[in-house]
Amino acid sequence: MCLNDFHLISVLGQGSFGKVVLSQLKDTGEYFAIKALKKRDIIDRKEIESVFAEKQILEVFSSVQHPFLINSFSSFQTKDTVCFVLEYAPGGDLMTHILEGAFDEHQAMFYAACVLLGLQYLHDNDIIYRDIQLENVMLDAHGYAKIADFGLSKENIRYDDFTDTFCGTSEFMAPEVLKEDSYTRAVDWWGFGVLIFQMLVGDSPFSGNNDDEIFTSIINDEVCYPTFLSLEAISIIHKLLQKNPDQRLGSSKRGAKDIKVHKFFRDMRWDELLQKKIKPPFRPNLISHRDVRNFDTEFTYQNPNLNLMKDRCRITPTEQSLFKDFSYMADCC
């Protein structure tokens, strides 16, 4: 694939890394989300290795088309960018929907169950995710939740392996990361606990006016639970937000299996969910495949042309050679 194979329709999101653009494949009419990263930034930030790691991780689960992970179909490059051709989730992210009000327990439990199965697959394949947040959980056209953005993920982290990179989103980072200790895959279950709290309450369990205050709260404060939360919800959040990772639910060798049997998920039929036989509690209102109402108008009103990305700088032939093995096409394409 190459950029000329697509009609670029609308910007779905943008950051310092580049942008994500809703695109239509000219030959088939299918819709995808193209994530374009600027080569200049990748080189300057010394992130070549992490970009190729993201590509490899996407290939791992995209080979089975996991139902609760945003799958990749191809990767290619232009003179200035590297591009991932990703599954398009037109329902937008959970942050967009929670701005209208916190979810009821049934809805939150459903999304949490989808995320749990996604994380379980990653962990079973020795991948640590490290970036659980509302913005990274997308809804597909039917209302199923899918984990997106694997830029902070890392391969070859087994149950008893440690890593030490300081990374993540402030409100979701585990205490052991903030203390700059080595940490295990249990950091994903801490983030999962914060995610459940935010879905049910509409706010973070750890507050602060800046990152330093939030970090201090995460390390030192105990969570205050609103009285409207059920005992089951309080219990699972409390067990996931254990500051000692060895005592955290999910940290044992059984991993996700210990979380799936918690009473918060008492009504969940896991095999049926994995086969998408359980009807989601909410289905996004969409009028067409090109409907981008679930994405921020700050982005959707922008010109989707990747050639208009700012800060274009010349890439030398030697630097271009760093990306020579980037192109990929999934077997399903």
Q: How confident is the model at residue 315, as a pLDDT?
A: 86
d(CA 82, CA 80): 7
pLDDT, tens digit (0-9, with 9 covering 90-100), for 312-324: 568 899 999 999 8
Q: How confident is the model at residue 305, as a pLDDT?
A: 85
Residues that are catalytic = 131
Token pair of 268, please? Answer: 């969940």
35 is in an annotated binding site: yes
Q: What band does 217 get if pLDDT is binned at 50, 70 and 90? A: very high
Residue 71 burial (CB count, 10 A): 19
3-90+289-322 domain in CATH 3.10.180.10? no
Residue 91 burial (CB count, 10 A): 24
pLDDT, tens digit (0-9, with 9 covering 90-100), for 193-205: 999 999 999 999 9
H helix runs in 38-145, sequence order: 39-44, 48-62, 94-98, 105-124
Show me where the domains of the chain are located.
3-90+289-322, 94-274
pLDDT, tens digit (0-9, with 9 covering 90-100), for 87-112: 999 999 999 999 999 999 999 999 99
H helix runs in the chain, sequence order: 39-44, 48-62, 94-98, 105-124, 175-178, 186-201, 211-220, 231-240, 256-260, 270-274, 297-300, 317-320
Residue 158 burial (CB count, 10 A): 11
pLDDT, tens digit (0-9, with 9 covering 90-100), for 180-192: 889 999 999 999 9
What is the fold of 94-274?
Answer: Transferase(Phosphotransferase); domain 1 (1.10.510)
Q: At what angle do helices 186-201 and 231-240 cross, to 10 degrees?
A: 150
Token pair of 243, please? Answer: 């500051």
As a dihedral over the C-alpha atoms of residue 314, residue 315, residue 318, residue 324, rounded to 10 degrees, the angle is: -150
